[in-house]
Structure 1
Amino acid sequence: MTLYFRYLLILFKSQMQYRTSFWLLSFGQFFIPFSVFAGLYFLFDRFGQIKGWSFYEVALSFGVIHMAFAISECFARGFDAFSSLVAAGDFDRLLVRPRSTVVQVLGSKFEFTRIGRLGQSLIVLVWAVTSLPVEWTVWKAFTLLLMVASGVFIFTGIFMLAATLCFWTIQGLEVANIFTDGGREMAQYPLNIYQKWVSRFFTFVIPFGCVNYLPLLYLLDKTEGGSPVGYMLAPLAGIAFIVPCLLVWHIGVRHYRSTGS
């Protein structure tokens, strides 16, 4: 982790060499999810609710998933841009260094301009929390933090799986965006508004439902007599999602055959 934070500091200093560009890009990132949220607002302004969910309840889900995506895109950007390391043969240098390839790839690229997207998501989240008629407790606040952390691990795991494919395809595959950008757009709504096969896939295969739906039922007191502990701890499944992703990554590393140059 000492090495990781050194990477972090070096790349932060390099990006701050062009501060005007940094702040303009951050400002632009602030407005990217803003247009999506505006569409969400007008949707509820027209129809009132979606399958029993109010605007502020969905806004809470929106804030959580977009915040998780912004954090993951900032700190796990190295996996998202991994194909360039493989195509240029730079991954070979990482293999001969006496440190984990995961740490080195994570430290190869950071997108600090995502602070703009993170700020916008935080504003939406605080607005939703303060507007909902929910009696907040320490456990509910802990669950909310766990939801964000769970989303970060899921998006990071998806970035890692997409990067692993580059060991065989060299270039990154756009199909991975179905589960990153597409997953973000889908998970900003509670999963029960979709068909059952969609909600099941994104609960038991890619556990976005453990980020925005099951714990959301606990926060809003909608568990309908079920044990609240299971709903509260559901985000742990999202955190555990990183484990098989790490295993697949190490399998990919073992099958890497270098550039031959």
Structure 2
Amino acid sequence: MTDPELTGRTALVTGGAQGLGRKFAEHLATAGATVVVADVQDDKGKEVAERVGGHFVHLDVTDDASWEAGVAQAVAETGGLDVLVNNAGIEIAGLFLDLDPDVVRRIFDVNVVGTSLGIKHAFRAMGPGGPAGQGGVIINIASVAATIAFPALSAYSASKSAVDRITRIAAMESGKLGLGVRVNCIYPGLVPNEMGAGLANEMTTLGLFPSPEEAVAGVVALTPSGRLATEDEIADAVVFLASDRARFVNGIGLPVDGGMGM
């Protein structure tokens, strides 16, 4: 059954072809939104868009021109843009002893530059005089890694800490300029999906834990709730921040991490 909470609104989800992005698209559609799945993975992205009854746009979040074209296509096909979920991101673990500057630049290009460009083009589309022009909501996906010191995640943690700062500054700019766009971020805890499993394997390969299972157990041991997060729990927070229930929630980072980052 569809919840009418977001009926009449259009939501664009970057990195929507898989993982959390796919789950966000599903929950937003269930809440009544018209969903635009944006990704560089065309086949997977189109499958998700078809599943949720939405649209697909090819989008490389690191490329300014790709953002301009993708947002224009989304607005043209749906008639507006009310919600942007800046979800696309990458995680690559590595020790300081072996730091590769090219890897660090790649992480920041996707996670920080990509998020910043999303804010830029959402502001232009949603603000007064833009092709959507009714204001809206931006939800940036940070990470619990922005709030804790976990080994081998220096570049990823730094990039997600930057997402937190970007969020707060964007919220302030939107208010000062009268754009009518709320900007918040979410700190998801570790989720047992493809990215979460990849992180556990990386921790083992780097010699920080004897096995992926013990790496996961190490995360759980740091979490008061005593378990990993689920994709549905993170997606519920996205729907909440996109909705009118959060109409006076602005410029914050919402932990959905079972208390891990407290």
TM over 0.5, yes or no?
Answer: no
TM-score, normalised relative to structure 1:
0.29
Per chain length, whose mean CA-contact separation is higher, i.e. which structure has more relative contact order (CA < 8 Å, sep 6+)? 1
Larger radius of gyration: 1
Greater strand fraction, Structure 1 or Structure 2: 2
Greater helix fraction, Structure 1 or Structure 2: 1
